[in-house]
Amino acid sequence: MKFLDEAKVYIRSGDGGAGSVSFRREKFIEFGGPDGGDGGRGGDVWIEAVNGLNTLIDFRFQQHFKAKTGTHGMGRNRTGANGEDVTLKVPVGTQVLEEDAETLICDLTKEGQRFRLAKGGNGGFGNAHFKTSTNQAPNWANPGLEGEEKTIWLRLKLIADAGLVGLPNAGKSTFLASVTRARPKIANYPFTTLHPNLGVATIDGREFVLADIPGLIEGAHEGVGIGDRFLGHVERTRVLLHLVSAQEEKVGKAYKTVKHELEAYGGELIDKPEIVALSQIDVLDEKDLKKKAKELEKACGQKVFLLSAVTGTGMTDALRALRDVIVAAAEGEETALPNRENPAQPEAGDDLDEED
């Protein structure tokens, strides 16, 4: 199934039904009087976050949604039926924006959340409504009110606890495949990952969701490469795992390149708690490994994890470090970044900002 995280949609609520002009006509009843019923109310347009969806692909094939018009009123004081509502079903984490693609209407972050995007028009009054002691035979009725119409943007930001960032070929997809049951495409060329992937990792009996996004390169915030259009999927995470490949000639520069792109993107990504890891260490000898680890620690200002998905080195420690930050953030507590030798014990002076 193709991944789609943005869609433009036209919606229109139903018009209200018109009121009826009718007079009672029965045998032996000379002055029956007005008996025109009211029109039914037009249908609303709702949006609802549901389970089981992780893309907006359905809105590629249908972009127009119109609720039903209310039924007109009828004689014998019969009120018209209300028009049927229309519900747009979207994945959890979907934002709804105005046509300018900037003004936020609502943000659906929990399953079952609903929001009315367009209210149906009220039905018109029938002539029976206007009967008075001085006007006992009104011959007019109200038309129904028109519904609302607008164009909106749907933008999906995946719900995940931790996000993987780094340059292309930094080993993000390999890490995701090693610690979860997700099966992203893995190959030895840049931008193998073309859309975000989610996986559920389990460590010491606790589960959390990992999000892997396509790699960033220098100038991504200006549209270079795939650009930064997928960074929104890690905006909701509580912690970032920044992977730097040991195959990079200058690991410090590689780290700073991605940090610059995160800062240029905004969305408070630069302020999120970050765990840094040197990946693919199985390709280096011990001397080069120490040299690059030291260079990366100098660039990021913290201890780094040494990872190898091939041998399994450091994978459990990295997962525990992610779990500790996620648990502390969920509990509303500040935590500290763990060091490489003993990830369960935070170092003093490395307090993380609280993330709700």
The neighbouring-strand residues paired with 266 are: none
For the chain, state the CA radius of gyration. Answer: 29
Q: What pLDDT shows up at residue 329?
A: 85
Q: What pLDDT shows up at residue 354?
A: 38
Write the pLDDT tens digit of every residue in 231-283. 888 888 999 999 999 998 899 999 999 999 888 887 788 888 999 999 999 98
Q: What pLDDT shows up at residue 190?
A: 63
How many residues does this entry show for the chain? 356
Q: What pLDDT shows up at residue 196?
A: 83
Helix (H, G, I), strand (E, B) or coil at 51: coil
User: What does DSSP assign to residue 170?
Assistant: S
Q: Terminus-to-terminus CA distance in the chain, angstroms?
A: 32
Helix (H, G, I), strand (E, B) or coil at 122: coil
Q: Which token pair is 282?
A: 């199985």
Q: For domain 162-351, give the CATH superfamily.
A: P-loop containing nucleotide triphosphate hydrolases (3.40.50.300)
Q: What pLDDT shows up at residue 223?
A: 65
- Of 74, 58, 84, 241, give the one whose Cα is nearest residue 156: 58
Comma-separated ranges of CATH 2.70.210.12 domains in the chain: 1-156
Specify the residue for token string 């970050």: 274
Alpha-helix residue ranges (DSSP H) falling in the chain: 58-61, 172-179, 251-265, 286-300, 315-330
* Residues contacting residue 110 through CB under 8 Å, at least 6 positions apart: 49, 92
Comma-separated ranges of CATH 3.40.50.300 domains in the chain: 162-351
Q: Which token pair is 215?
A: 């790699």
Beta-sheet pairing, 274-279 with 239-245: parallel
Q: What pLDDT shows up at residue 231?
A: 84
Helix (H, G, I), strand (E, B) or coil at 128: helix
Helix (H) or strand (E) holding 300: helix 286-300
Asked if residues 304 and 340 have their Cβ atoms less than 8 Å apart, the reply is yes
- Of 142, 210, 124, give the one whose Cα is nearest residue 174: 210
Q: What pLDDT shows up at residue 191?
A: 64
Q: What pLDDT shows up at residue 253?
A: 93
Q: Cβ–Cβ contacts within 10 Å for residue 183, how many?
A: 11
Asked if residues 335 and 325 have their Cβ atoms less than 8 Å apart, the reply is yes
Sign of CA dihedral 89, 95, 100, 105: positive
Rounded to 10 degrees, the C-alpha dihedral 286/291/297/300 comes to -120
Beta-sheet pairing, 336-338 with 346-351: antiparallel
Residue numbers of the chain with a pLDDT score lower than 70: 1-2, 187-192, 220-227, 333-356
Q: Which token pair is 249?
A: 């000639």
Asked if residues 161 and 237 have their Cβ atoms less than 8 Å apart, the reply is yes
Helix (H, G, I), strand (E, B) or coil at 28: coil
Asked if residues 344 and 338 have their Cβ atoms less than 8 Å apart, the reply is yes
Q: Of 3.30.1390.10, 3.90.420.10, 2.70.210.12, 3.30.70.3270, which CATH number belongs to 1-156?
A: 2.70.210.12
What DSSP string describes 204-261?
TTEEEEEEE-PPP-TTGGGT-TTTTTTGGGGTT-SEEEEEEETT-S-HHHHHHHHHHH
Q: Which token pair is 109?
A: 């972050």
Q: What pLDDT shows up at residue 2?
A: 63
* Residues contacting residue 223 through CB under 8 Å, at least 6 positions apart: none
